[in-house]
Amino acid sequence: MKDKSLSTPAHNVKIIAQSGNVTLKGAVKTDAEKQAIESKAAQIAGEGKVNSELQVTPAK
């Protein structure tokens, strides 16, 4: 994703596509990043075809 507003961890999210469904795995820094990535995936794959396993892990 070429969105400069996302953190480095958000750019490193794993995207797994299988049988028309998409699974997102990894860590992001904020809920807003999580929602942005999930929304973009849903736009591309279609509503109901995205399984998000993203975890919000804020910087310490």
Helix (H, G, I), strand (E, B) or coil at 49: coil
Confidence of residue 32 (pLDDT cuts 50, 70, 90): very high
Q: Dump the DSSP string for 24-42.
A: EEEEESSHHHHHHHHHHHH
* 36 backbone dihedrals φ, ψ, rounded to 5°: -65, -45
Strand partners, 21: 18
Mean pLDDT, residues 8-14: 87
Could you tell me which residue, 9 or 16, shows the higher pLDDT? 16
**Rounded Cα–Cα distance for residues 51 and 20 (Å):** 11
